Structure 1
């Protein structure tokens, strides 16, 4: 039996069914240094207890890692806090005048 915190294939299908079928799927990896990866394979195998598990795998190509995860995705995953730009201060003018 799967742990309650594990997502099942049914959970994934339910979540994906709300999204346009032509939307690319990417994998978010490493909450401490969030990166986006291109998915290439879906493989079913048995885990160490003999239970079936589905693995979503990235490709082997050099361009499989697409770069940093967009900040809005990292915030939605609760991997980063929302960040606001610092308040703008008035610019100082050359010569110290106002």
Structure 2
């Protein structure tokens, strides 16, 4: 990407390597990562007269799908990888 904003061409390039049958979801809010179902693509014009494309979720209550999977949040660098705590040795019943 050469501009600070992703362009439609950038998005097409990134999507070209993906499974074309996979559903498209939108990841929102890095501090409380949630997954949303996309319902619309709308082209409009911004305040400077430039063409802008919006990806939007629908109006239905089930468009927010819940928490973003941890591996997606890690890949987006919204979270660090979480490792399981080290296991402690098991205690023996009736003993030490």
- TM interval, shorter chain, is over 0.9
- Structure 2 SS opposite 1:67: strand
- Residue equivalent to 2:45: 46
Indicate yes or no: 2:12 matched with 1:13.
yes
**1:93 positional shift:** 3.8
Aligned to 2:32: 33
1:49 Cα deviation (Å)? 1.2
> What SS class does the counterpart of residue 66 from structure 2 fall into?
strand
Q: Which runs of 4+ in 1 moved over 3 A?
A: none
Name the CA distance, whole Å, in 1 between partners of 2:62 and 2:90: 42
- List alignment gaps of at least 5 residues for structure 2: none
Query: What is the DSSP-based 3-state SS (H/G/I as helix, E as strand, rest coil) of the residue aligned with 1:33?
Result: coil
CA–CA distance in structure 2, aligned partners of residues 25 and 68 of structure 1:
15
Give me the CA root mean square deviation. Answer: 1.3
Instruction: Specify every segment of 5 or more residues in structure 1 that has no aligned partner in the other structure, as ranges.
Output: none
Aligned length: 95
Normalising by structure 2, we get a TM-score of: 0.93
